[in-house]
Amino acid sequence: MIDVLLTAIAYSSGLALAAAGITIIYMSTGTFNFAHASFTAWGFYVVFSLFSLMKGSPYYYMILGGLFGGVLGIATYYIVNRWLLRAGADMVTLMMSTLGVDLVLFAAINIFADYLTYTYHFNPRLFVLSSYDFKLGSLYGIPVSGIVLVSIIIVVIIIAILQLFLTRTKMGIAMRATIENAMLATVLGINPELIYVLSWFLGGFLGGLGGAILSLLFTGTPNIGMLLIVPEFAASIVGGLYSVFGSLLGGFLIGISQKVGIALLGKWLGGWIIVYEPLIPLLIMAATLLIYPKGLGGLPWGKIYKRLFKGGE
C-alpha cells in the first residue's frame, strides 16, 4: 500500500496543477475548457519526444512541456475563445467550442505520434518514462522514485509564485480585479484583453506542466487526455471553481482518493473492480455538487480553524 500512496501523491500533484489551470481559465473568461486534458497530454508528449531525441533526463524538459501548454492556451484564446467572448456567447457555447478544440488537439497528437514513428522509429503510442527516473532510496523496502519529491516541490513553488503574483504584482491585482468585475476594471484602465491572454497562458502552462509530471508515472498513449479529463474537472469542481488554491487542494483529494480507493477496493472485492476507477472522481464530484457546490475553496476556513484550535471563540 505504501507504493500506491507514493504514486498517489505524485499523481495528485500533477492533477492539482491541471485543475488549477481549469479554474484560472474559468474564473477569467467563464469558459469550461474541455480541451484542457489535451493540454496535459501534449505536456506528456513534449517530455517524451524531447527526451527521446536529446536524451539527458526527462526532468530537463518539464518546463518546456508547461510552456507548450501555455502556447496552446494562447492559441485557443485567439483562434476560438476571443471571438465568442466578443460576440457575447453564453457558457454552453464557450464550453462546446473548446470541445471542438479538444478534438483537433487529439487528432494532432495522433498525427505527431505517426510522425515520430515513421521518421525516428520511436514508439510514441505506448511509452514508459518511469524507468528513467532516479531513486531517492526506499521506504519500508519500497523504492521511492524521484518524481514523488520533485512533484511536491513543483506544487509548493507554483503555490508560492501564484500567491506572490496575485497579491504582490500590479498584473496579478489587475487580473483579480478583472475576474471580479471586467467592466469596472476596464473603466479603471485595466486592459481585459491582456488579462484573458494571461489567464489562458497560465491555465495552459499548468495543464502542460501537470502532464509533464504525469509522464514519469504512467504509460503514455495518444488517449491519455481522455483518461485525465474526468479527474481534472472533478478536482477543479471539488476544489471550487472560484478558488485557484482550492482546486489545488481538490487535486490532492481526488488523486489520493482515486488511487488509494481503487487499491483498497481491488484488495477487498477483487481485480475486476479496477476498471471502474474513473467512477471515484465522478462520485466525489457529484457529492460535492449536491452537498456543497462552492467546493473546498468556499468553505469558511477561518471559522473552522477557530472551532478546531481555539475552542470556538
DSSP state letters, 15-80? HHHHHHHHHHHHHHH----TTHHHHHHHHHHHHHHHHHHH-S-GGGGHHHHHHHHHHHHHHHIIII
19-35 confidence digits (pLDDT tens): 999 999 999 988 999 99
* Residue whose C-alpha is closest to residue 238's, from 307, 292, 165: 292
Q: Which helix (H) or strand (E) holds 136?
A: strand 135-139
Q: Which pLDDT score, from 0 to 100, does residue 312 have?
A: 55
Contacts of 167 (CB under 8 A, 6+ apart): 173
209-231 confidence digits (pLDDT tens): 999 999 999 999 999 999 999 99
* Spatial separation of the C-alpha atoms in residues 177 and 254, rounded to whole Å: 30
* Spatial separation of the C-alpha atoms in residues 75 and 65, rounded to whole Å: 15
User: Which CATH number does the domain 2-309 belong to among 1.20.120, 1.10.3470, 3.30.70, 1.20.140?
Assistant: 1.10.3470
* Residue 57 grid cell: 533526463
Contacts of 304 (CB under 8 A, 6+ apart): none
Residue 302 has pLDDT above 80, yes or no: no
* Residue 101 grid cell: 478544440
Residue 309 has pLDDT above 80, yes or no: no
138-161 confidence digits (pLDDT tens): 888 889 999 999 999 999 999 999
Backbone angles phi, psi at 143, to 5 degrees: -60, 135
For residues 58-64, average pLDDT: 97
* Residue whose C-alpha is closest to residue 240's, from 22, 52, 76: 22
* Spatial separation of the C-alpha atoms in residues 233 and 25, rounded to whole Å: 12
Q: Print burial letters for 93-126: b (CB count within 10 Å at least 16), e (below 16).
A: ebbebbeebbeebbebbeeebeebeeeeebebee
DSSP structural state of residue 220 = B
Q: Which pLDDT score, from 0 to 100, does residue 313 have?
A: 53
198-211 confidence digits (pLDDT tens): 999 999 999 999 99
Residue 115 has pLDDT above 70, yes or no: yes
Contacts of 271 (CB under 8 A, 6+ apart): none
Q: Which pLDDT score, from 0 to 100, does residue 177 have?
A: 87
Residue 74 has pLDDT above 90, yes or no: yes
pLDDT confidence of 180, banded at 50, 70, 90? confident
Residue 138's DSSP bridge partners are: 143
3-class secondary-structure state, position 193? helix
Half-sphere exposure of residue 227: CA atoms within 13 angstroms, side-chain side: 17
257-300 confidence digits (pLDDT tens): 999 999 999 999 988 898 999 999 999 999 999 999 999 988 87
Q: Bigger pLDDT: 305 or 284?
A: 284
pLDDT confidence of 308, banded at 50, 70, 90? confident
pLDDT confidence of 105, banded at 50, 70, 90? very high
Burial of 278 (0-12, 13-18, 19+ CB in 10 A): middle
Q: Which pLDDT score, from 0 to 100, does residue 307 have?
A: 78
Q: Which pLDDT score, from 0 to 100, does residue 311 have?
A: 60
| Average of per-residue pLDDT values in the chain | 92
Domain ranges across the chain: 2-309
CA 271 to chain centroid: 28
Q: Which pLDDT score, from 0 to 100, does residue 254 have?
A: 97
* Spatial separation of the C-alpha atoms in residues 206 and 19, rounded to whole Å: 8
* Spatial separation of the C-alpha atoms in residues 236 and 15, rounded to whole Å: 9
* Spatial separation of the C-alpha atoms in residues 93 and 90, rounded to whole Å: 5
Q: Which pLDDT score, from 0 to 100, does residue 148 have?
A: 96
> Cβ(76)–Cβ(35) under 8 Å?
yes
Evaluate if pTM is beyond 0.75: yes
